[in-house]
């Protein structure tokens, strides 16, 4: 024992407008976690600073620990004593992938404990984290970084890495209120009008092309008809900001299940956002992020 592990995992945005439940982007806002292993397998201590401090459980209900134990079971690792320190920078319950980050971090720790001499198996990490989190666009982006297209195929996850066009940047508007993912899911209808489904299919089909090779299509490709309008009642401030941004040509979308707002576009498109009031929102301009990183010492 006495081994130390550290994990760095990025925030993510899912959907990117029309890419509902299948397209995600990581950006350079990270949770950084440290884990010390001890001899006593009953030992568990958790320290949290930053986002979630004072609100998340400090026992086995902590999502990092839950995921770590799931990973140990999957990979045949023996549970040691655990001293976990979390430096959280990803806002919670804002649609920025904090749960996906915690799950991926816990699984990365489990890999380091079970198979620390081997590099992280990213497809395996993607498969298990997506199964736990439920959304391969969020979990996959946290594992791989950059932009990804991902979907479930039976018990596996199919994932395509997208090369974002050099002209594209991102902005994020983080509100001072939360919306739980479960609540945001509960308001979605079981069916939508055919015209909306067709519009969504066209936009979603164009979105990977727009992100990689045709940034001139990005505004149209981020149009959504499946989820954002139905969630407006849960986050009216976010809905108003979204409409204001798109009215001046900013390719903006609700980030994940909200209530944060995310935009991807050219310098000129993102600069148009300066004309919009965003009272109650903190604006970030992160770079596109890299995927999870694991370091094992001792």
pLDDT in tens, 131-162: 999 999 999 999 999 999 999 998 899 999 99
DSSP run (H or E) holding 263: strand 261-265
- Average predicted confidence (pLDDT) for the chain: 95
Is CATH 3.40.718.10 the right assignment for the domain spanning 169-284? Answer: no
Contact 98, 56 (CB under 8 A): no
Q: What pLDDT sits at residue 182?
A: 78
Q: What is the tens place of the pLDDT at every residue in 111-137?
A: 999 998 899 999 999 999 999 999 999
Q: What pLDDT sits at residue 17?
A: 96
| pLDDT value at 2 more than 80 | no
Prior bond of 259 cis (ω within 30°)? yes
Classify domain 4-162+287-297 at the CATH class level.
alpha beta
CA distance 107 to 128: 8
| Backbone Cα Rg of the chain | 19
**4-162+287-297 and 169-284 have identical folds:** no
User: What is the three-class DSSP state of 211?
Assistant: helix
Residue 181: pLDDT band by 50, 70, 90 thresholds? confident
Q: What is the tens place of the pLDDT at every residue in 49-90?
A: 999 999 999 999 999 999 999 999 999 999 999 999 999 999
Contact 184, 258 (CB under 8 A): yes
DSSP run (H or E) holding 4: strand 4-15
Q: What pLDDT sits at residue 33?
A: 98
Is 99 annotated in a binding site? The answer is yes
Is 95 annotated in a binding site? The answer is yes
Contact 273, 169 (CB under 8 A): no
DSSP 8-class letter at 78: P
Residue 185: pLDDT band by 50, 70, 90 thresholds? confident
Q: What is the tens place of the pLDDT at every residue in 199-218?
A: 999 999 999 999 999 999 99
CA distance 82 to 104: 17
Is 45 annotated in a binding site? The answer is no
Is 102 annotated in a binding site? The answer is no
Tally of CB atoms within 10 A around 291: 23
Going from N- to C-terminal start, the domains of the chain cover: 4-162+287-297, 169-284
Q: What is the tens place of the pLDDT at every residue in 218-268?
A: 999 999 999 999 999 999 999 999 999 999 999 999 999 999 999 999 999
Contact 110, 68 (CB under 8 A): yes
Residue 166: pLDDT band by 50, 70, 90 thresholds? very high
Residue 1: pLDDT band by 50, 70, 90 thresholds? low
Is 123 annotated in a binding site? The answer is no
CA distance 270 to 245: 9
Which of 13-17, 40-44, 178-182, 249-253 has the weakest average pLDDT? 178-182
Is 197 annotated in a binding site? The answer is no
DSSP 8-class letter at 69: H
Q: What pLDDT sits at residue 154?
A: 86
Is 96 annotated in a binding site? The answer is yes
Is 214 annotated in a binding site? The answer is no
Is 227 annotated in a binding site? The answer is no
| pLDDT value at 298 more than 80 | no
Which of 10-24, 164-178, 183-197 has the weakest average pLDDT? 183-197
């Amino acid at each position: 024992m006495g081994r130390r592990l550290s994990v760095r995992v990025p925030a993510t945005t899912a959907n990117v407008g029309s890419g509902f439940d299948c397209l995600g982007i990581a950006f350079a806002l990270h949770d950084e976690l440290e884990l010390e292993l001890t001899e006593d397998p009953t030992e568990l201590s958790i320290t949290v600073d930053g986002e979630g401090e004072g609100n998340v459980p400090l026992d086995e209900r902590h999502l990092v620990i839950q995921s770590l134990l799931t990973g140990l079971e999957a990979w045949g690792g023996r549970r040691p004593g655990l001293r976990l320190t979390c430096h959280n920078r990803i806002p919670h319950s804002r649609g920025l992938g904090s749960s996906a980050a915690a799950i991926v971090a816990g699984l990365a720790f489990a890999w380091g404990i079970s198979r620390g001499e081997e590099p992280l198996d990213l497809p395996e990490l993607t498969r298990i984290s997506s199964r736990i989190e439920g959304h391969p666009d969020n979990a996959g982006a946290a594992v791989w970084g950059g932009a990804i297209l991902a979907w479930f195929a039976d018990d596996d996850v199919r994932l395509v890495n997208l090369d974002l066009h050099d002209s594209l940047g991102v902005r994020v508007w983080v509100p001072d209120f939360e919306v739980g993912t479960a609540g945001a899911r509960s308001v979605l209808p079981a069916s939508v009008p055919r015209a909306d489904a067709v519009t969504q299919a066209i936009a979603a089909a164009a979105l990977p092309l727009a992100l990689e090779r045709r940034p001139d299509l990005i505004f149209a490709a981020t149009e959504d008809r499946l989820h954002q309008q139905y969630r407006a009642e849960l986050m009216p401030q976010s809905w108003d900001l979204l409409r204001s941004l798109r009215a001046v040509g900013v390719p903006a979308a609700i980030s994940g299940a909200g209530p944060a707002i995310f935009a991807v576009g050219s310098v000129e498109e993102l600069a148009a956002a300066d004309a919009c009031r965003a009272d109650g929102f903190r604006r970030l301009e992160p770079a596109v992020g890299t995927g999870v990183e694991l370091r094992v010492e001792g």
